[in-house]
């Protein structure tokens, strides 16, 4: 759909997606926009299997992706405990590998690790990226990405030609603070220290000062910003595309699927930029592993 044909306000458009997704037919990316490539969700999660109903929750995510025209979902599974235990991340990666087998071609896996277990984390990443076809590394808030313990992880990601997706946010209001959460400034610092690395700053719309985040990433061209989150402030995609360029933005949901798709479909950007964000940029990142 060309932007000039969209006459309704963006808030109405986003609200309509949220209420009507269950009634939408399966729409491939090519149906949404003639000549478009794949739509790739660069950041999402499947359910921890300790949770009741995990299998139904995973099935519903795939159904939602079908209805929204999302062709592939890049996922990790996270344990509930913090800091993450060795046994916790090993179990989650095994579950993630099983999910990739259950949904072949639809679900792509990130290897989740706690970098504090340096030797074991390195072995785990090699096992799942080299041995089981995982597409990247997922980090949470066990350590900030600028801490020395992260250096072997980033260096391994460079060697394997895979991205590092880091949980991030510039916040001061969390009821349960995350003292080691990375923000855009930390990602930019790590990106400058390792210009060969491909880093992804997670969920600009996940809460926090997203304008600060966008500006903080200006000086690190190898850091991408994913557009996921449940916050529906207007102008997030437009500002990020203007300041960073659309080449550095990745469509992602992080489990907020209709809001995240609506954010991109309703953004006042060119159709060429929309297609880069929806899948073209992430596809280029994935292709580096095959080069």
First to last CA, the chain: 33
- The confidence score (pLDDT) of residue 11 equals 37
In a domain, 17, yes or no: no
Q: What is the mean pLDDT of residues 228-248?
A: 95
d(CA 27, CA 118): 43
Can you list the positions of beta strands (E) in 151-235?
164-166, 199-201, 223-226
Asked whether 118 and 152 are in contact (CB, 8 A), the reply is yes
Q: What is the dihedral of CA 62, 65, 70, 72, to 10 degrees?
A: -20
Question: With 70 as the cut, is the pLDDT of residue 5 above it?
Answer: no
* Residues contacting 148, CB < 8 A, separation 6+: none
- Residue 7 is predicted with a pLDDT of 36
| Number of Cβ atoms within 10 Å of the Cβ of 247 | 14
How many separate domains does the chain show?
1
Asked whether residue 6 is domain-assigned, the answer is: no
Average pLDDT value for the chain: 88
pLDDT at 177: 66
Instruction: Please check whether residue 92 is in contact with residue 76, taking contact to mean a CB–CB distance below 8 angstroms.
Output: yes
Helix (H) or strand (E) holding 43: strand 40-45
Confidence of residue 290 (pLDDT cuts 50, 70, 90): confident
Closest CA to 236 of 252, 214, 258, 251: 214
The tens digit of pLDDT for each residue in 140-152 reads 999 999 999 999 9
**Residue 73 placed within a domain:** yes
pLDDT category of residue 17 using cuts at 50, 70 and 90: very low
How far is CA 235 from each of CA 56, 148, 271, rounded to the nearest angstrom?
Answer: 34, 35, 16
pLDDT band, residue 23 (cuts 50/70/90): very low
Find the Cα–Cα–Cα–Cα dihedral 223, 227, 233, 238, rounded to 10°.
Answer: 70
Residue 18 lies in a domain: no
Per-residue confidence (pLDDT) for residue 172, from 0 to 100: 67
Examine the pLDDT at 174 and tell me if it is beyond 70: no
pLDDT > 90 in the chain, percent: 78
Report the side by side order of strands in the sheet with 164-166.
40-45, 72-76, 107-112, 136-139, 164-166, 199-201, 223-226, 249-250
The two counts, helices (H) then strands (E), for the chain are: 12, 8
- Residue 178: pLDDT band with limits 50, 70, 90: confident
4 has pLDDT over 70: no
Q: Look at the alpha carbons of 93, 84, 43, 249 in this order and tell me if their dihedral is positive or negative.
A: negative
In what helix (H) or strand (E) does residue 243 lie, and over which residues does it extend? helix 236-244
C-beta atoms surrounding 133 within 10 Å:
12
233 within a domain of the structure (yes/no): yes
Tell me the sheet residues that pair with 137: 111, 164
Indicate whether 15 pLDDT > 60. no
What does DSSP say about strands 136-139 and 40-45: parallel, antiparallel, or unpaired?
A: unpaired
Would you state the pLDDT for residue 18? 38
Q: How far apart are CA 123 and CA 84, in angstroms?
A: 16
Residue 27 has pLDDT above 50, yes or no: no
Question: Residue 168's pLDDT is what?
Answer: 94
Tell me, yes or no, whether 5 lies in a domain: no
Q: Is 267 among the domain residues? A: yes
User: Could you list the residue range(s) of the whole structural domain that residue 64 is in?
Assistant: 29-172+180-290
The sign one gets for the Cα dihedral 228, 279, 140, 242 is negative
Is 192 a member of any domain?
yes
Quick: pLDDT tens for 52-84. 999 999 999 999 999 999 999 999 999 999 899
In DSSP notation, 104-145 reads TTTEEEEEE--TTSHHHHHHHHIIIIITT---EEEE-SSS-T
pLDDT in tens, 80-139: 998 999 999 999 999 999 999 999 999 999 999 999 999 999 999 999 999 999 999 999
CATH assignment at residue 239: 3.20.20.140
């Amino acid at each position: 759909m060309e932007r000039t044909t969209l006459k309704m306000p963006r808030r109405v458009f986003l609200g309509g997606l949220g209420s009507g997704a269950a009634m939408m037919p399966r729409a491939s990316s090519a149906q949404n926009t003639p000549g478009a490539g794949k739509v790739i969700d660069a950041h999402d999660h499947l359910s921890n299997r300790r949770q009741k109903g995990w299998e139904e929750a995973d099935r519903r995510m795939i159904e939602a992706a079908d209805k929204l025209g999302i062709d592939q979902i890049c996922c990790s599974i996270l344990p509930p405990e913090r800091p993450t235990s060795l046994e916790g991340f090993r179990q989650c990666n095994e579950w993630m590998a099983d999910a990739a087998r259950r949904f072949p071609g639809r679900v792509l896996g990130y290897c989740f690790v706690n970098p504090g277990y340096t030797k074991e984390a390195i072995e785990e990443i090699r096992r799942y990226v080299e041995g089981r076809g995982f597409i990247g590394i997922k980090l949470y808030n066990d350590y900030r990405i600028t801490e020395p313990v992260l250096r072997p992880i980033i260096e391994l990601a460079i060697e394997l030609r895979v991205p590092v997706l880091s949980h991030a946010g510039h916040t001061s209001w969390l009821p349960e603070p995350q003292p080691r959460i990375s923000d855009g400034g930390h990602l930019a610092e790590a990106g400058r220290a390792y210009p060969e690395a491909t880093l992804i700053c997670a969920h600009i719309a996940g809460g926090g000062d997203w304008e600060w985040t966008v500006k903080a990433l200006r000086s690190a061209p190898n850091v991408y910003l994913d557009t996921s989150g449940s916050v529906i402030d207007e102008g997030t995609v437009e500002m990020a595309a203007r300041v960073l360029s659309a080449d550095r933005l990745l469509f992602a949901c992080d489990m907020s699927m209709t809001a995240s798709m609506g954010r991109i479909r309703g953004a006042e950007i060119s159709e060429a930029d929309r297609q880069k964000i929806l899948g073209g940029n992430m596809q280029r990142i994935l292709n580096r592993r095959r080069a």
